[in-house]
Amino acid sequence: MADNGAGTPALRRVLGMRTVLSTSAGLSYAAISFLGCVLVANAVAGDSAWLAILIAGVLALLAACCFAELNALYPTAAAIRLYIKAAYSERIALIIAFVYTVTIVAVIAADSYVVGSAVTYLLPQTPTLLWILAILGLTLAANLVGIRIAGALQDVTTYALLVSAVAISILGLATHGFHFHTPFAALHQPLGLFNAVTAGVFVFSAFEWVTPLAEEISDHRLIPRGMFIAIGVLFVAYGLFTLATTNLLSVRDAQGGWHLPAHVVASAFPQMLMARAALGATGTWWMLIATLFTGVMTFNGGFATASRFLYAAAREGTMPAIFARLNRYTVPWVTLVALSTASALIAVLIFATGAFQVLILVGAALEAMIYAVAGLCVLQLRRRQPQAARSFLIPGGWTIPVLTIGIFGVLFVGALFPPAAQLPAGTSPLLVAGIFAGLLALTTVYVLLAVPRYQAQIAAQRATTRRRRPPATASTAPTPDKERSAEQ
C-alpha cells in the first residue's frame, strides 16, 4: 500500500501509457457514442457526416491542448477543482466539478441502457434491466479489487472493441460495394453542419476524463500524449462506423436525397442494425460482443475516474469523509458503491422513459461548457502563475485557448437549444436547457449549503487533534536537522 507521506494510505502509481490511451479512448467510445454518430448523420445529407466528425475531432484537439497544460500544472485526482479554484474561486470550481461528475454518472447510466437494449435485441427473452445491473455489478467488482485489475480490464475491452468496430465497418463496406452518395453535401448545409458538429462534440467527449488518474499513472506527462492519440483513434473508428451506417442503411427520398430512415435514428442500438446489414447474423453477434465490451469499458473507466475525483474531494473536505475511505486494495470503495448505485437508478429512469437522445444533447452541452471553461482557465492561470513550472505548454500563445473558448461557447448554446429533428417526437425544445439548469441548480445548492458544513467539521476535528497532542519533550522537540528532514 502506498503512503502519502503523512502515514495515511495513498493511491498507487502503477498505470502506464497503454492504460492512459485505453482509458482516454475507452471513455469516449461508449455504446451511446453509436447513437451520437447517428444523430450526426441525421443532421446532414447523404454520407457527408464524416465531415462533421472530422471537424468535431479537430475541435477536440483544441480542448485536449488546454487540458494537457492544466494537468501539467495540477497532476492530481482533484485537478479540475484545483485549477478552476486557482483561476477563479473555490465555489465556482466546486459547482463545475460536481456538474462534471454528474455528467460521468449520467453517461454511464445511458450507456448501460444502450448495452442492455442491444442484448435484448438478440435475446428478447432476457430482461434489459437484468443485463444493465449485471454489467454494472461486474464493473464494480473489478474496480473494488484494485486499479491494476481495473486498468487491465480497461485495456482488454477498449482494444477489443476498437478492432471489432473498425473490422465490421470495413468488411461491411467492402462486401456491399463501398461508394459515396454525397460525401461533401454538408458543406452546402451550414445550419445542418453546425447541428452535426454540436452532436459530434458528444461522441469525442470524455477523452479528458483520464486526467483524474494522474496520481496513479507512472508519469503524468503521459496524459497529453495519450489524449492526442486517443482522439485520432476515435476519429478513425467513428468515421468508419458512420460511413458504414449511412452507406448500408440510408434510403433515397422522393427528391433524390439520401437519409437514414426514422427507425434507425430512433433506435437505441443502431450499431446492431448496421452489423446485420453488413455481415448478417455473424455481424450481429460480433457487434453484440463488442457492445458488451463498450459497457464494461465505459463503466470501468467512468467509475475509476469519478471515484478518484470524489475521493480527492472528500479528502479535502468538500464531500462527506466516508468517501475518502480506502479498502485494503487502496481503492475508494464507498465512492465506487455510491457511483454504481446512482448509475443504476438513472439507468432505470432512462429505461422507463427512453429519453436517451435527450441525454446525449445534455452531455454535449455539459462537455462544451467544460471545454470552454478549460480555455478560460489556461488564460487566467498564465496571467496569475506565469512562472509556474509546466511540463506541457500549448504552442502559439493565446491562439488555441481563445479558439477553444469561442468555438465551444457557441456549441454550448447550440446544444442547449437543439432543432426538433434531434429530439424525440413531442419533446419540448427547451427540455435540454431545462435539464442543464436543474443540474446546475442542484450542484449550486449543494456547494452553498452542504460544503460549508463539511469544511467546518474538518476544521473542528483538526483543532481538536491539535489540542490533544502532548507537549513536546526534549526528545520530541523539533531540531534544525529534524525540520530540514521533514521539509525534504
pLDDT digits (tens, 9 = 90+) for 132-187: 788 778 777 777 776 565 556 667 777 788 888 899 999 988 887 777 777 777 77
Q: Does 487 reside within a domain?
A: no
HSE at residue 379, side-chain half, CA atoms within 13 A, is: 14
Confidence of residue 376 (pLDDT cuts 50, 70, 90): very high
What's the whole-number mean pLDDT along residues 92-98?
Answer: 87
Q: Does 7 reside within a domain?
A: no
Spatial neighbors of 77 by CB under 8 A, at least 6 apart, are 11, 212, 213, 214, 215, 308, 309, 311, 312
Say how many residues make up the chain.
488
Q: Does 415 reside within a domain?
A: yes
pLDDT of 83: 85
Q: How many domains does the chain have?
A: 1
Specify which of 293-307, 318-332, 376-390 reaches the highest per-range mean pLDDT.
Answer: 376-390
Q: pLDDT by residue (tens digit) across 452-475?
A: 888 887 777 777 776 666 555 554
pLDDT of 378: 94
8-state DSSP, 472: P
Q: Does 9 reside within a domain?
A: no
Whether 113 contacts 360, CB under 8 Å: no
Report how far residue 296's alpha carbon sits from residue 303's, in angstroms, rounded to the nearest whole number.
10
What number of H helices and E strands is found in the chain?
Answer: 17, 4
Q: Does 6 reside within a domain?
A: no
8 has a pLDDT exceeding 50: no
Specify which of 4-8, 14-18, 319-323, 422-426 reaches the highest per-range mean pLDDT.
Answer: 319-323
Confidence of residue 402 (pLDDT cuts 50, 70, 90): very high
Confidence of residue 382 (pLDDT cuts 50, 70, 90): very high
For the full predicted model, state whether its pTM sits above 0.85. no
**Domain residues for 79?**
14-466
Q: Does 405 reside within a domain?
A: yes
Spatial neighbors of 160 by CB under 8 A, at least 6 apart, are 290, 293
pLDDT of 405: 96
Tell me the three cell numbers of residue 116: 442492455
Residue 199: give its domain's CATH number.
1.20.1740.10
pLDDT of 313: 80
194 membership: H or E segment, kind and range: helix 190-204
Q: What is the mean pLDDT of the chain?
A: 80
